[in-house]
Structure formats: structure tokens, C-alpha cells
Homo-oligomer: A and B are copies of this chain.
Amino acid sequence: AELIAAVSLAAGTVAVGFLAYRTFFSKEKCCKDRVNLDIQKDNPKVVHAFDIEDLGDKAVYCRCWRSKKFPLCDGSHTKHNEETGDNVGPLIVKRKEA
């Protein structure tokens, strides 16, 4: 009976400790609700500016922050939406009747 008590207590302690760790460290302090997981993480604010005159006929810009061609869209939002249940899509800027 004492052995069972000791094992149970140990298991409970480990479980509670792991839960507490997950709750306070993994989620709160790190990446909860972050939008950008990988891009230019050494830059405190990733802003892009383009001149309208240089756009050409059509430009498609990433808003899911998963594109390998960021700031341009590469279609990564489709996989992101499937994996997370999200519903994001790109911003398109184009010339009329292009």
C-alpha cells in the first residue's frame, strides 16, 4: 500500500509539474497568438513598402506569414488554413482589365 502511495504521489507530482510548466512557459511566455513564426525574427517590426509605379500588372502579397517568397504570396495559406482551421488569404493589387 505504501509503495502504491509513493508511486501515485510521484506520478501526480510529475503530471502537475509538467502541466504547470506547459501552462506558464510554453504558452504564456512564448508563442501564444503569434502571427509570424519565422520571418525576419531579428527585425522588431517587419514592414514592406512598394512604389505603385513599380508594381507591374499584378502583385499578390502574403498575409499568412508562411510564404517562402514573403512578402509575396506563394499559396502557403492553403496548407496553413487546412492545418489550423484558419481562413486567411492574400492581398491582390492589380491593374484594371489585366
Contacts and interface: CB of A to CB of B under 8 A. Distances in A.
Interface of A: 1-2, 4-5, 8-9, 11-12, 15-16, 18-19, 22, 29-37, 40-41, 43-53, 55, 61-65, 71, 77, 80-81, 83-96
Contacts of A62: 63
Label chain A's interface by main secondary structure: mixed
A47 B92 contact: yes
A59 to B, nearest CB: 8
Given A35-B80, A95-B52, A46 B88 contact: yes
Closest 9 CB pairs between A and B? A12-B12, A5-B5, A47-B89, A15-B15, A8-B8, A49-B92, A8-B9, A45-B89, A11-B12
Nearest to A13: B12
Contacts of A19: 15, 18-19, 22
